Amino acid sequence: MTGYKPPFTITNEILSYTSSVSEKIGNLTAIGNMDAKPHLRRNNRIKSIHSSLKIEANSLSLGQVRDVIDGRTVLGEQKEIQEVKNAYTAYEHFSEIDPYSIDDLKKFHGMMTKYIVEESGVFRCGEEGVFSGEQCIFMAPPARLVPGLMGELFDWMREAQDFVHPLVLSSVFHYEFVFIHPFSDGNGRMARLWHSAILSKWKPIFEYIPIESQIEKFQEEYYDVIVRCNSEGESTAFIEFMLTQIDKILDDICTQIEDDREQTSEYVKTLIEVMEYGVPYTSRTLMEKLGLKSKEGFRRNYLNPAVRMKLVRMTIPDRPTSRNQRYIRT
């Protein structure tokens, strides 16, 4: 391999966490298909957006972020509301990201900073410092060096993807990106978005794992380890930190899916108990039997899981939304 190589060392801790995370991802894939859990995917995406913006001093609560995304009126600073809208747009196009393309990086920075940053979708022209709150923890390289430094980083990533584990590569990129600070604003949001994008090319489930929420919980440690790496001249400590946080968030996600599965089982059990074998029911009749008013909640929590579990079948399976559709307990 020729050209620039970011300095880092593969330690026993990195190897241990890489193994642990890989095992947990395997277990997570086995116990829960996120494609069949749109509510979990949506909740985790909203958590990602809220946490990533909160790290950057956006004051909107999780509930307010959810309301903005749902199109409800929210009282707050227009800049903060626009940040939420922009982030949601970027995350909705997440699967389109080529994490090894500088053009895509600029494109998604444009999405993330639309209407709120003058230099949106382009590398900065001025000098920038990296701040933790009000404190400047270091000055970024001069703006004239940014295109070259980013070119070298992306060249290394494209070559390294064949022999550096994605968990390590994504962490190295995250640190190097924060150090270069290529944009006038939105660098932290882009670093965390791109970290997840690199991992999702390895394991698609990372699209819905809110790594940002874990970083937000340990925000002080996050900036401390960046300062430490600047002092040591390599990203080893940052890799260890990120792998630790990913390992922890996977434990939380496993618990979340198990709890959801238990809750789903209770909903389905309640539905089955009001249905007689072989009797065709309309969705309205079933909702009345359950005392429910929300059609969306009924389908999400009761009916759809029961159909997926093959405890209930549709009389017209090729036309799920037919007005003549009936549901039969099997």
pLDDT single digits (tens) 137-190: 888 999 999 999 999 999 999 999 999 999 999 999 999 999 999 999 999 999
Helix or strand or coil: residue 274? coil
Helix or strand or coil: residue 130? strand
Helix (H) or strand (E) holding 312: strand 312-314
Within 235-302, where are the H helices? Answer: 236-273, 283-290, 295-298
| Cα–Cα dist 139/146, whole Å | 13
Q: What are the DSSP calls for 68-122, one per residue?
A: HHTT----S-HHHHHHHHHHHHHHHTGGG--TT-HHHHHHHHHHHTTTT-SSTTS
pLDDT at 2: 57
Let me know: does 270 contact 290? Beta carbons within 8 Å: yes
pLDDT at 199: 97
Helix (H) or strand (E) holding 124: none
Q: What is the pLDDT of residues 226-282, one digit of tens each?
A: 999 999 999 999 999 999 999 999 998 888 777 666 666 788 889 988 988 878 999
pTM comes to 0.78
Spell out the residues 6+ positions from residue 235 whose beta carbon is closer than 8 angstroms to its own: 6, 7, 8, 171, 172, 175, 176, 229
Domain ranges within the chain, ordered by starting residue: 12-257, 274-329
Residue carrying the six token digits 């090894």: 100
Q: What is the pLDDT of residues 305-321, one digit of tens each?
A: 888 877 899 999 888 88
Give CB contacts under 8 A, 24+ apart, made by 275-281.
275/312, 275/327, 275/328, 275/329, 276/329, 277/329, 277/330, 278/328, 278/329, 279/328, 279/329, 280/315, 280/326, 280/327, 280/328, 281/326, 281/327, 281/328
* Third-level CATH fold of 12-257: Fic-like fold (1.10.3290)
